[in-house]
Structure 1
Amino acid sequence: MNDMRLYTSLSRFKYLDRNYSFKYLFIAFIGVHIPLIGIVTFIALTDFTSLTPGMVIFSTLGFTLIACGITLFMQNALARPIIETKNALVNYLSNKTLPELPTDFKDEAGLLMSNTCTALKELDNLIKEKRDFIYLLSHDLKTPLHNVLTIIHLMKDDINNDSKEEHINLIRQSTQYQLQLITSVLNLATSEFKEGNILQLINLEPLLNKVLKDHAGSLQNKQIQVLADIPENLQVKVNEELFAMALSNLVTNAIKFSTRSSEIMIRAVVMEDHVMIRVIDYGIGFNESKAPSFQPFSKSSRPGTDGESSNGLGLYFTRKIIKYHGGTLVAESEGEGKGAKFIVRLPLAA
């Protein structure tokens, strides 16, 4: 910022770099001494005997006016950090544009710029997080509702009501899951994604079984069999509710893009420095141009094999959740019609 050249120059001097008021005092000191220096110089270069009182008075006033002008100009230039900070705030409030203020100055004005940048970035992230939670809530609430509709459809086809109790239990499980999901997401909207939250050691196998139960209706509707290969007593250090959402989204995605009467394989293995979880389907797959982007409302999102809608929010939030746990999520496929693998890597539980 060229407008801050004076402030930048003064910040290079010792004793002026960490105190903004000292910079103003330095400029005021120069301004006060300009008339004195000017008068001394004027007298030294002029025949003393030819000076009249009027010449001394008018020369003093002239040098004082010049000093005032220079001092005001320099003080206005020195105020640029505050002005730039004000402009940055106004610009953010008007256009939601994050500022690019310098953050390496150590005095009060420098700290004001640095803290303003930090505060606005945190505010912007908070706004995005709240918006994302709204998307998450609207997206993930569809899963249990879709399961209920699927089960109701199956009940209509079951003329003899042979599976009535089983279907009722599945509906009860889906509605309970939906209530838990609403509570969880509303809690998450306040503080769950903050750093420093305590994660717990959770057995992966029972957590996965619970997730698969919640998807029993969709699996039965497409006649899909899930083959799970999870080492006994394998533990992961996670937030249980969040990680269950991530697994649920991956299972939902696998069901959505699997063909009828196919299989889904879920495998977990302990590697040298991480736990790897793979959710493998043998459905439509993808080539490089149609690979999941993990971005919300991505244009690469495709409908499922039964026409299920897809907007990419599930995978977007799944990666967000995995990243929150210090892990990674990638998608692999050998091409169209060759299925897909979604690979989760989590740090080993300490």
Structure 2
Amino acid sequence: LNTRVVTTEIFITLINIIILIRFIGSTSPEEFIFNGLVLLGVIMFSFLLIRSVLHEVRQREEISKLAEDLRVANAELKKLDQMKSEFVSLASHQLRTPLTVIKGYISMIQEGSFGKVADPLSDALRKIYISNETLINLVGDFLNLSRIESGKMKYTFEPTQMEGIIQSVFEEFMEVVKEKKLELRYENPETPLAKAMLDKDKFKQVIMNLVDNAVKYTPEGSVTLKIEEEKEKGNVLFSVSDTGVGMSKGELDGIFKRFSRGESGSKVNTSGLGLGLYLAKRIVTDHGGEIWATSDGPGKGSTFWVRVPVHI
């Protein structure tokens, strides 16, 4: 039995015994009637008190059982979520290898490694290359998401010249912007900037996601990449500006949330799941940096900024 119930019953029993003794020992009719009424009241009170205590004990037992059921269910959900993350990670790994091979072979064919390529075939290969690149980026996003959610995201930081990463991304997007008839510019600094402590592959994914986002949401016009050093603050500042659909203040507040796609962006026919900016923010934060976006409003383009500390 519950300790509280037993204690209550013992206390009530003692009180009732004391009142009963007084009732039996009454020496006058008035005292007999008074003690009888007191005894009756105490008995009723005892019954109500014990019932109340029993009800409370049952409620606590039900709550305790419910809490245990929830704990078991939560543990099961965590296990299933872990299995899901592991499956996504494994599937992403398995998909990435053949997609990378396809990309390599398409590049070799376009360069004429297997003979001269006719113009109609070259145009088809370019479209295949762009679609394959989209798949590679999507698989990379899923892989990074599963690593972040499972707490298995690992970084290899080393002093890195950020200009090299941006130049690489700039060159990789040339085919994409040609297809969309956009202008892609890179304002490369004249002198080398200070190095930053970066994981090259992870940080390249950040730049890829930002440029990809800018290109997707720019129906016409240009996308400009810029990098500069904030010597007074000890930072390197990178930005991606576009002349695209722009964003409202409300959209800017939630643009880095998982699976977020702005209302202005929904008017443009684009692929993607809204993971790129979420992953970019997580990775930049893990680098000790900042990432944010600015826009003058819908239809007025956007600029995404990334600031990371330089290597000392």
In the alignment, is residue 280 of structure 1 matched against residue 244 of structure 2?
no
Letter in 2 for 1:314: G
Distance between the aligned counterparts of 1:314 and 1:184, measured in 2?
7
1:174-200 deviation digits (Å, cap 9, x = unpaired): 979977985785476246762895551
User: Does the residue aligned with 1:278 lie in a helix, a strand or coil?
Assistant: strand
2:279 is matched with 317
Of residues 203, 227, 231 in structure 2, which corresponds to 1:243? 203
User: Does the residue aligned with 1:227 lie in a helix, a strand or coil?
Assistant: strand
TM-score normalized with structure 2 length: 0.60
Q: Residues 249 and 186 (structure 1 numbering): CA distance in 2 closer, same or farther, change over 3 Å?
A: closer
The answer as to whether partners of 1:202 and 1:235 remain within 8 angstroms in 2 is: yes
CA RMSD in angstroms comes to: 5.6
Distance between the aligned counterparts of 1:311 and 1:173, measured in 2?
17
Letter in 2 for 1:226: R
Q: Residues 290 and 256 (structure 1 numbering): CA distance in 2 closer, same or farther, change over 3 Å?
A: farther
Letter in 1 for 2:214: A
The answer as to whether partners of 2:141 and 2:279 remain within 8 angstroms in 1 is: no
User: Does the residue aligned with 1:266 lie in a helix, a strand or coil?
Assistant: strand
In the alignment, is residue 40 of structure 1 matched against residue 18 of structure 2?
yes
In the alignment, is residue 256 of structure 1 matched against residue 216 of structure 2?
yes
Q: Residues 343 and 255 (structure 1 numbering): CA distance in 2 closer, same or farther, change over 3 Å?
A: same
Letter in 2 for 1:332: T
User: Does the residue aligned with 1:255 lie in a helix, a strand or coil?
Assistant: helix
Alignment of 1:181-192 (within 5 A): 182=139, 185-186=142-143, 189-190=146-147
Distance between the aligned counterparts of 1:180 and 1:309, measured in 2?
11
Distance between the aligned counterparts of 2:310 and 2:241, measured in 1?
22
1:269 is matched with 229
Of residues 209, 215, 221 in structure 1, which corresponds to 2:173? 215
Q: Residues 212 and 332 (structure 1 numbering): CA distance in 2 closer, same or farther, change over 3 Å?
A: same
1:7 is matched with none
Q: Residues 180 and 172 (structure 1 numbering): CA distance in 2 closer, same or farther, change over 3 Å?
A: same
Distance between the aligned counterparts of 2:218 and 2:130, measured in 1?
23
Distance between the aligned counterparts of 1:192 and 1:202, measured in 2?
27
2:291 is matched with 329
The answer as to whether partners of 2:194 and 2:236 remain within 8 angstroms in 1 is: no
Q: How much does 1:213 deviate?
A: 3.2
Distance between the aligned counterparts of 2:202 and 2:153, measured in 1?
15
The answer as to whether partners of 1:285 and 1:333 remain within 8 angstroms in 2 is: no
Of residues 183, 186, 193 in structure 2, which corresponds to 1:227? 186
In the alignment, is residue 201 of structure 1 matched against residue 152 of structure 2?
no
Instruction: Please list every run of 5 or more consecutive structure 1 residues that lacks an aligned counterpart in the other structure.
Output: 1-20, 52-58, 94-115
The answer as to whether partners of 1:246 and 1:321 remain within 8 angstroms in 2 is: yes
Q: How much does 1:219 deviate?
A: 3.5
The answer as to whether partners of 1:327 and 1:345 remain within 8 angstroms in 2 is: yes
Q: How much does 1:42 deviate?
A: 1.6
1:25 is matched with 3
Alignment of 1:10-21 (within 5 A): none
Distance between the aligned counterparts of 1:317 and 1:196, measured in 2?
11
Distance between the aligned counterparts of 1:78 and 1:238, measured in 2?
53
The answer as to whether partners of 1:31 and 1:70 remain within 8 angstroms in 2 is: no
TM-score normalized with structure 1 length: 0.55
Percent of aligned positions with the same letter in both sequences? 19
User: Does the residue aligned with 1:37 lie in a helix, a strand or coil?
Assistant: helix
The answer as to whether partners of 1:329 and 1:344 remain within 8 angstroms in 2 is: yes
Q: Residues 246 and 257 (structure 1 numbering): CA distance in 2 closer, same or farther, change over 3 Å?
A: same
Q: How much does 1:308 deviate?
A: 4.6
2:58 is matched with 76
Letter in 1 for 2:24: T
The answer as to whether partners of 2:187 and 2:225 remain within 8 angstroms in 1 is: yes
1:225-252 deviation digits (Å, cap 9, x = unpaired): 4214356353334444332222101111
2:35 is matched with none
1:99 is matched with none
Distance between the aligned counterparts of 2:245 and 2:79, measured in 1?
36
Letter in 2 for 1:25: T
Alignment of 1:47-66 (within 5 A): 47=25, 66=47
User: Does the residue aligned with 1:286 lie in a helix, a strand or coil?
Assistant: coil
Q: How much does 1:82 deviate?
A: 0.6
Q: How much does 1:170 deviate?
A: 12
